[in-house]
Structure 1
Amino acid sequence: MEKMSDFKFVIIGSGNISRTYTTVLNKLEGMELVGMVSRSGERPDHINSSVEMGQSIREIENDFDAVILATPNGMHNKGAIEAANLGKHVLTEKPLDITREAMDKMIEACDANNVKLAVAYQRRTNPDNKIIYNLIREGKLGNIFAADMTVKNYRPDSYYESGAWRGTRDIDGGGPFMQQASHNVDLYGWFFGMPSKIISSYGTFTHDIEVEDHGAAILKHGDDMIGTIIASTSAKPGFDGKLEIHSDKGTVVLENDIITSWQIEGMENPSQSAPEEIHSGATSASVSDTSGHENIVKDFVQAIKQDRSPLIDGKSARLATELILEIYENKIS
């Protein structure tokens, strides 16, 4: 039986992450992939023959409602602006982009053309992350004085060799802070806001790339909270991301977006996470659990139909890149 759809997508980019979105659109009711843009023009093996291929969005003849940007980081702005100027809504992979100027132009183009702009920071949809966000906003965790985040991934040389843009400043925009830890940095900013002062140190230790493969930052907030973020692709064999929050009421530890330690006085552990594995990215960029992406895509389509802001719009997602750029710009000598 042919799948019925009332919302049609074109994916721009044919690499690994496009496979994830193809799977998502095949799963979700009422949604259909009708086109894909690939710079090579070649049809990837995960795209069936009914999907129209083109080397430019303007070559796609099928009617469609929105694009999904699955291109490398520094190319998001080009796809977003072109789609917005055609009156198409835009969902982009993280990060929004890698420079302030590019992000601003994306947001301005979507606003000027009255189309939605959403960003796939899907970790915000995970149950325990939403619980912690609300508890912080309600002041129920007490006076938070420290937040320590570690994103100690490992990537072999073959990962960086798999694409000419990987590990480059102009396209990737940086190493693990901008790439692998971007989701985690987004959570940090979502929970605690933008710090007032940052100092950092980072370098390239185990890979032949232009950007860092390991680094650390100390972040000072206006309420005197001290944060730390460590990001790496050199930490063999790769470890699940962790966030430790310390307050005058006790400690909360999240590992891979699940509350694994709850030591808050007078409160029961509120964890609602299911026991199944959530993709951590510790050792691989491949995504097997697409539930987070499904949440983002469903919200994006609902936001368009209801004429409301998406869960993570351009302005909200901009904070993560801004924080990462501040980390890069405030390196100690």
Structure 2
Amino acid sequence: MAQPSLQPIGIQQLHRPTEPAEVDIVAVHGLNGDALKTFTHEDSEVLWLRDLLPTYIKTARVLSWGYNSNANTLRGRATSADRILEHARTLVEDLQSDRELENATERPIIFVCHSLGGIVVKKALTFSSWQTSPKCARLHTIYTCTYGILFFGTPHNGSSKAKPLHTAQKLASALIPRQGAVFESGLVRALKEGSETLEMITSEFAPLMPRFRIFLFWEEQRTGLKYTKDYIVTSDSAAPAVEDSERCGIPADHRGMCKFQDVNSPRFRTVLAALKRYSSAAPTVIKSRVAQNADIAASWYQTI
């Protein structure tokens, strides 16, 4: 189970079922994350998306999407905190292209997001929802086919509306190596602007939320920082009051909340049960949405 030395970029297929796939489960990591390591238990090297999940959901194709999410100057990497829209657009194109090659453009999608990966997914779905012109309609299918989203420690509102910069700095410092990391002044500037960016993304995504099944998870343990321990994303930010959403705490810190060693790991069965429910219900719902979109498109073409 050794991991590659280079950060995986783009769509990584972790599991393809032997029987026809009925759903795509797509994981997206967050700031300073990795498509594989973010979801891999450090001690056992169990990548639960690959090593555990397929045993219980046999008709799911499991993917993870990697992108340059580094927020420090270590090894010369540049900040990407000010590129949420670019990441969102790339996610939509990467995922849609992969599904086209797999002849799976009508297959339901369930996203599993850690931390700022959830912000990228929210922006990606908003962007996809806007792509309705004939030349871009292929990208609209990501929005059409998304059934559910599991958010692990996503800072939907920041720690508090008064301290978005402090929250983001904690988030970044918690997820990079303890030694040798140097924050760019550009990152700080981007995070200062980030409060307005987060508010805009949340505002744009809010009207779309009733369309999706949503599960919100928050961290129940403080993360070790340089001189102290703290919650990186507080429960009120990770699990805001959203109508018809499910919510649950996970007894781990921000780094460890989306890593599971075995089926008996705390809250893994809760996560697994949610994915099974969503995977079971998604095909019927998405089939109806795809048919409805086809009727709308046909009517549109008749008017031109």
Asked if TM exceeds 0.5, the reply is no
TM class by shorter chain equals 0.3 to 0.5
TM norm structure 2: 0.40
Q: Which has the larger share of helix? A: 2
If you compute each CA radius of gyration, which structure gives the higher value, 1 or 2? 1
TM-score by length of 1: 0.37
Higher relative contact order by CA 8 Å / sep ≥ 6: 1 or 2?
Answer: 2
